[in-house]
Structure 1
């Protein structure tokens, strides 16, 4: 993970205003304008910042290879479909129509930001892959953005128009937030955009995509982005299946059987496999526990694979099926 990913919040400063909009069935979309703020709609004692992408420093910038379809350039004023990573924005770009930014949003000495000159074709321009999230837990993704174009500089300017899409790596949609157009402002104004989602029970990574819906190059459709964050809104729930790492079926009355613990389920199917994948134990009830034998003969010490398939009631009429697996050591 790059060095500019940090797991902490910066000190919040005063906000000018905060607005919360309800975006239909897509969920809650918020933006905040102000100087530097770490305010968030996902808060509380258990909220934790898992990822912050601040784009490093001007001395240690790197392209976003594999994370954007735009072309990386090192010049101060990128053209249509190009981006750069820099600690400041030159106000003389394109005949002085851009805002000049002396620092990035983070406010660190030499801190960098993503500077984007929108393509003349709408589409995805940034993505972040996030592995290892907990099922059944709510998360919030946020990003700070700023329209670089000053008002009244073009006869027909184009505003950046953004959408946040969140899905699993397999393509299952989790959240879509249509942010809409980012307005031109007389002075530079950073705005915070966020989208919350609940992680399903899956081991797949999550993809967060930023899409620019504006379809015009030329004058406008230019923006700066900084301080992308992923916040876990609450602690991960306990794992629904617990299996000990080892058991000792030596008939001494202690830990002689492999006990499997499972949260409330409609049904359960348990299988134990040896090192060659052969089935040595099967049961459809938690009360029946493996005693380390197969066909009345003690199984040899070593590692065995357990697999638990269980169904959980989502509602009075629907269920979901989950599979968990792992390894257990048989010791004698």
Structure 2
């Protein structure tokens, strides 16, 4: 039986909805091979050699003269014959797995996590190599957003699944992000073998809302068309709007999206011309919090 531990540089509770990425490697031993995620060779064996990977729902403990733990099932809770990714590391250090993330909300915080276990039993050899894990997150053009060194994955008497996670902020201008798993251990031979499962991307904050839309011109002439200055905004939990004339004097205030400016102040028509508006609104964020946004612009009142 395996136990679990949590090793997190940073964590988030997430927002409602399915994780954008939830890689559990499917079911059935030797299932679908990884296409672009690794440069390692695929092995249909449950005991892949150096520089190879396999997909298997269990490890019997017979690998390499009983050097590996017996792991009867993968990490994913509740699945049946679910696979884990088995890595027999190459002799040189470097990236062994990568995944490209698309469709992220610009400027939004995300958490990337995975579960890993050292496959080697203790006492197998006197000079074993420990997997040494780093998560590096970068843009598609190579700009590094986050690097976290988690260090060695220790040998344990029984298999211990450990959760590794880090957070990062997506680029403000939407572009693909690449996550690389790097093994800093450059030795093959005895050890440097691990299994991974449940690679997940979790969104920590809600996506920033689309900016409110406010027309540039309105004509309060009573013809029933564009007579009022309206604000078009979604998902706000609070809202205020202030309108000022060219001398900075307040001419209108509202704290409800259903309350529109009709071009009057205290019942008297305001003169034609440009007016400055400022709106403040809050939208739900993560962990039962809200985030405030402020927009400012000008509108032309035509009579």
Same fold (TM over 0.5): yes
Aligned counterpart, 1:195: 166
Q: Distance in 1 between matches of 2:200 and 2:121?
A: 27
Contact 1:47 1:233 in 2 (8 A): no
Task: Give the C-alpha shift of residue 44 in structure 1.
Answer: 5.5
Aligned counterpart, 1:145: 116
Aligned counterpart, 2:295: none
Q: How does 1:99-138 map to 2 (within 5 A)?
A: 99-107=69-77, 108-138=79-109
Q: Does 1:234 align with 2:235?
A: no
Aligned counterpart, 1:282: none
List structure 1 segments (4+ residues) > 3 angstroms apart after TM superposition: 15-20, 44-48, 240-244, 252-256, 259-262
Task: Give the C-alpha shift of residue 203 in structure 1.
Answer: 2.0
Contact 2:24 2:197 in 1 (8 A): yes
Aligned counterpart, 1:330: none
Task: Give the C-alpha shift of residue 67 in structure 1.
Answer: 1.1
- Work out which of the residue numbers 159, 180, 183 in structure 2 matches 1:209: 180
> What TM-score results when the alignment is normalised by the length of structure 1?
0.62
Aligned counterpart, 2:191: 220
Q: Distance in 2 between matches of 1:114 and 1:198?
A: 27
Which whole-Å deviations, capped at 9, do the CAs of 1:139-194 have from their partners, x for residues lacking one? Answer: 00000000000111111100000100001112121100001000000000000000
Q: Distance in 2 between matches of 1:60 and 1:152?
A: 30
> What TM-score results when the alignment is normalised by the length of structure 2?
0.68
Aligned counterpart, 1:313: none
Aligned counterpart, 1:69: 39
Aligned counterpart, 1:87: 57
Q: Distance in 2 between matches of 1:103 and 1:178?
A: 28
Q: Structure 1 94/242 Cα, relative in aligned 2: closer, same or farther at 3 Å? A: farther
Task: Give the C-alpha shift of residue 90 in structure 1.
Answer: 2.4
Which whole-Å deviations, capped at 9, do the CAs of 1:299-321 have from their partners, x for residues lacking one? Answer: xxxxxxxxxxxxxxxxxxxxxxx
- Work out which of the residue numbers 142, 157, 162 in structure 2 matches 1:171: 142
Q: May I ask how many residue pairs the two structures share in their alignment? A: 227
Q: Structure 1 242/164 Cα, relative in aligned 2: closer, same or farther at 3 Å? A: farther
**5+ residue gaps, structure 1:** 1-14, 21-28, 31-40, 245-251, 263-286, 289-332
Q: Distance in 1 between matches of 2:67 and 2:121?
A: 6
Aligned alpha-carbon RMSD (Å): 3.0
Task: Give the C-alpha shift of residue 65 in structure 1.
Answer: 1.8
Between 1 and 2, higher relative CO (CA 8 Å, sep ≥ 6) is seen in: 2
Q: Distance in 1 between matches of 2:63 and 2:4?
A: 28
Match of 2:145, SS?
A: strand
Which whole-Å deviations, capped at 9, do the CAs of 1:265-285 have from their partners, x for residues lacking one? Answer: xxxxxxxxxxxxxxxxxxxxx
Q: Distance in 2 between matches of 1:192 and 1:137?
A: 22
Q: Structure 1 91/226 Cα, relative in aligned 2: closer, same or farther at 3 Å? A: same
Q: Distance in 2 between matches of 1:243 and 1:77?
A: 63
Match of 2:196, SS?
A: strand
